[in-house]
Structures are given as C-alpha cells and as structure tokens.
Amino acid sequence: MDNRYRQIQSEFEEKIVQVNRVSKKTKGGNKIGFSVLVVVGDKKGQVGVGLGKAPDVASAIKKGVAIAKKHFIKVPIVRGSIPLEIRIKIGAARLLLKPAPPGSGVIAGGAVRSVVEAAGIHNISSKVLGTKNQASNVYATIEALKRIAHRHKPSTFYQKED
C-alpha cells in the first residue's frame, strides 16, 4: 500500500502558488477559512489549476489538487518549448510567452514558472506586463497555453527531437 501511494504521488507534480486566509463575519463571531491556488502537472504536456477553499489549509490543498486534476489541458511541446509566440490579456493580467532555443531554460516569474514547469516546458521566455496578482497571472498563463494548443496543428505535435 505504501509503495503504491508513492507511485501515485510521483505521477503528478503539485505546486502551491498562493495561500490566502479569509474570514467572514457571522452572528457568533468571525469564521476563518483558507483558499489555496494549486498547479498540478505531469511534466509531459498536461497541466491544470485549481482553487480549493476550506476551514484548514490541508483540506484546501486537497480540494485544489482535485479541481486541478479535473481541469487538465494538453499543451503542445516542440523541442522542449512552445511552438509559437503569444500575447494575451485576461482581466488586468497581460502576458507574453515566447519559444526559446534548447538550453536557454525557463525565463519566467513565479506564477508563470510554476505553470510551465508543471507542464514540462524546459525552454521558454515570458514577461508579465499587467498585474502582480499571482492568481490572475496563473489563469492568464493557462489561457495562453489553451490558445496555443487551439492554434497549433496536431500533425506537428510529434516532431522529432534534435
């Protein structure tokens, strides 16, 4: 049982991006809770993001991971990078993602880095131009990767590695 659990854990990479403590005024006093933004990926081209809310952090993380796994997207990866450049604006978040040559690594800020590393992208250059809100930047990154997958032709998904 213990060995099987380790195999399930190693299949996906989970990254906690943001933990917020929230409170609600009630008749009996303040009700404290937590919201956790989690990025889950298999490092093979699948990534998802989930926002879990619960009275304690551990439960919020579990909920966030479950939601992220339900909302996986497939990201096209060509030679360790994305196939094309994209600029996107979602709400206040403006984002630029550019493919990078092999060996250049992940040049990205915290929120974007967590998403692209979980997806398995090894070479990318990015710039966050709008907001500093990590949640907005994570959602903008996911939307950009969705649009790349939509624009990219499936026949070129499986190009030979150099």
Contacts of 162 (CB under 8 A, 6+ apart): 79, 102
Domain boundary assignment for the chain: 2-73, 75-156
Q: Is 76 helix (H, G, I), strand (E, B) or coil?
A: coil
Same fold, 2-73 and 75-156: no
Joined tokens for residue 24: 């609600």
User: What class is the 75-156 domain?
Assistant: alpha beta
User: What class is the 2-73 domain?
Assistant: alpha beta
**Residue 153 exposed, middle or buried by CB count within 10 Å (0-12, 13-18, 19+):** exposed
In 8-47, which positions are buried (b, 16+ CB within 10 angstroms) versus exposed (e)? Answer: eeeebbbbbbbeeeeeeeeeeeeeebbbbbbbbbbbebbb
pLDDT of 140: 95
Interatomic CA distance for residues 30 and 94, integer angstroms: 36
**Helix 110-119 and helix 134-151, axial crossing angle in degrees, nearest 10:** 40
In 63-99, which positions are buried (b, 16+ CB within 10 angstroms) versus exposed (e)? Answer: bbbebbbeebbebbbbbbbbbeebebebeebbbebeb
pLDDT of 143: 95
Residue-by-residue pLDDT tens, the chain, 162 positions: 455 554 445 589 999 999 999 999 999 999 999 999 999 999 999 999 999 999 999 999 999 999 999 999 999 999 999 999 999 999 999 999 999 999 999 999 889 999 999 999 999 999 999 899 999 999 999 999 999 988 876 554 454 454
